[in-house]
C-alpha cells in the first residue's frame, strides 16, 4: 500500500499518539483493551487482541496480547513495538450487528 504525502495510516497515527503519551506523561494510553493487531508479514495471519495494558517499573508501556486462534497463546510486548507498522498492523474491528 502506498500512501500519499501528508496522509498517515492508522498505525502511524497510533504511533504518534503513543509518542505524545510517553513524552507528555498523559494518564491515558492511546491503546485500548480489545484493540486487534496482526503481525506484519506473518505467514500465519494470526490476529492478536490487547487483553492487558500496564507500565513496567522502567516506565515503558507494555501490553499482553492474546492470539484469537483458540490455542491460548499470549505475548507481552512494548506498546512502542505494537504501534510500529514494521512489526504490527491494526485490524479493524467488526461493528456489532444491531
User: What was the pLDDT predicted at 78?
Assistant: 96
**Higher-confidence position of 88 and 22:** 88
Predicted confidence (pLDDT) at residue 26 exceeds the cutoff of 90: no
pTM: 0.67
User: What was the pLDDT predicted at 44?
Assistant: 86
Interval 17-44 mean pLDDT? 77
The 8-class DSSP code of residue 70 comes to: S
Strands (E), 45-92: 47-55, 61-67, 74-78, 88-91
Amino acid at each position: 500500500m502506498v500512501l500519499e504525502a501528508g496522509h498517515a495510516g492508522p498505525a502511524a497515527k497510533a504511533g504518534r499518539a503513543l509518542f505524545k503519551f510517553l513524552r507528555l506523561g498523559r494518564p491515558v494510553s492511546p491503546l485500548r483493551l480489545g484493540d486487534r493487531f496482526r503481525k506484519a508479514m506473518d505467514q500465519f495471519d494470526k490476529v492478536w487482541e490487547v487483553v492487558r495494558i500496564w507500565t513496567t517499573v522502567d516506565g515503558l508501556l507494555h501490553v499482553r496480547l492474546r492470539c484469537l486462534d483458540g490455542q491460548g497463546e499470549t505475548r507481552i510486548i512494548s506498546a512502542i513495538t505494537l504501534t510500529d507498522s514494521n512489526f504490527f498492523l491494526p485490524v479493524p474491528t467488526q461493528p456489532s450487528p444491531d
